[in-house]
Amino acid sequence: MAGVRVVVTGMGVISPLGLSVEATWQALLQGRSGVGRITAFDPAPFETQIAAEVKGFDPLTYMDKKEARRTDRFVQFALAAAQEALRQAGLNGTPPNPERCATIIGTGVGGILTLSQQFAVLQEKGPHRVSPFLVPMMLSDMASGQLSIAFGFKGPNFGTVSACASGSDAIGEAYELIRRGEVDLALAGGAEAPICPIAIAGFNACQALSRRNHEPERASRPFDAQRDGFVIGEGAAIMVLERLEHALARGAQPLVELVGYSATADAYHITQPAPGGEGGARAMALALRRAGLKPKDVDYINAHGTSTPLNDKYETQAIKAVFGEEAYRIPISSTKSMTGHLLGAAGALEAVITAMAILRGAIPPTINLDNPDPECDLDYTPWVPRYGRVRVAMSNALGFGGHNSTLVFRQWEP
């Protein structure tokens, strides 16, 4: 449908920095790291012993005991974040037209925690002791499924799985559903709870994780010459997206407008980005073009910025390819320096952070950027936040498998 505008009316976050959008945002502005030694299990035998864990999360704050027992931790995070988002959007009961409300939640590894636990049950106690809830707890679509059930949303309901671009793609696909006129409103975002032995061992085996165990808070260091891998994190971030007229008709307050989305593929390698960030560059350029914007219009980029050697270098090259000389003007930050990398939830969390940068007129910093890589020579907002008007902001999410996803947000103007 031509001319359809899509606005964000609610946001919710469960992150390693806090159990709400505001707590997370304040921690970001303070440059606080959410990374520490793993407490979920004994990490002593592992090469990597650090992660960005969610602290103080009690599922019983958000659901009853029975529901908590039957949901994986990634789904619990999604339910909690969705409750915050719906409250802000003023949707406290079943929506008036549930058949036109979608639920799209991305994840990279889904219920890996439940799956790994039940493998242990199978080995130690035999097949008859495996939980009847194993399958519905481990499935990657269960965050969207459980949210649809919890809030009565009867429109399209599915999960996006595109590795570290999953949460961004969920928001982008919800945006497209609204623009096509198929739904009026969508709950969209990402959720992940991957901090378990098999995940740490697997990522260690492919040399992806930082081994800076002696100083966890300084381990995630995007664009720094001494970066040695990403720090795995957990959490969820959810947005309420709406067709503008629908939001205004029910008296909701638009927060920001989502004006552009693009997804591309590298078609190159299972884990490495394409040289020069070619796929990421195409995603950024397409998202800008679809938003009707030019490089000079962008005031901030929330980079994927994983703290891995190739990603940070190639993303820098991709930004230069798209923005030319403007690339040196635009403030960029990688908030993964503080939150760690939430895998399939990363793009959703960073979309919320990008929206907050517009709302609050503040750009969060990239911490731990002590020795900039000469090949990463843009303005990465080191250590200290920056304040001023942010009218247009971009969020990048890139994933194993060659997935690239870009979202463009704009300040809400009637």
CA 211 to chain centroid, in Å, comes to: 23
Rounded Cα gap, residues 117 and 291, in angstroms: 45
DSSP letter (8 states) at residue 258: E
Q: Is the CA virtual torsion 93, 95, 99, 100 positive or negative?
A: negative
Rounded Cα gap, residues 347 and 283, in angstroms: 14
Which position has the token pair 């390819």?
321
Pairing of strands 392-399, 300-302: parallel
Rounded Cα gap, residues 167 and 220, in angstroms: 20
The β-bridge partners of 263 are: 405
The one catalytic residue among 164, 196, 246, 403: 164
DSSP letter (8 states) at residue 34: -
The yes-or-no answer on residue 304 being catalytic is yes
Q: If we measure between CA atoms, which residue out of 240, 245, 174, 250 comes closest to residue 414?
A: 245
- Two tokens, residue 293: 């914007």
Is 9 within 8 Å of 174 (Cβ atoms)? no
The one catalytic residue among 101, 246, 341, 403: 341
Amino acid letter for position 83: Q
- Two tokens, residue 345: 């939830």
Rounded Cα gap, residues 394 and 377, in angstroms: 19
Is 283 within 8 Å of 262 (Cβ atoms)? yes
Q: Which residues does 402 contact at the CB level (< 8 Å), separation at least 6?
A: 265, 266, 267, 268, 269, 270, 273, 274, 279
The yes-or-no answer on residue 341 being catalytic is yes
The one catalytic residue among 196, 304, 376, 403: 304
Q: If we measure between CA atoms, which residue out of 92, 99, 24, 91 comes closest to residue 55?
A: 24
The yes-or-no answer on residue 164 being catalytic is yes
Strand runs labelled E in 24-153: 36-37, 50-51, 101-106
Rounded Cα gap, residues 165 and 172, in angstroms: 10
Active site residues: 164, 304, 341
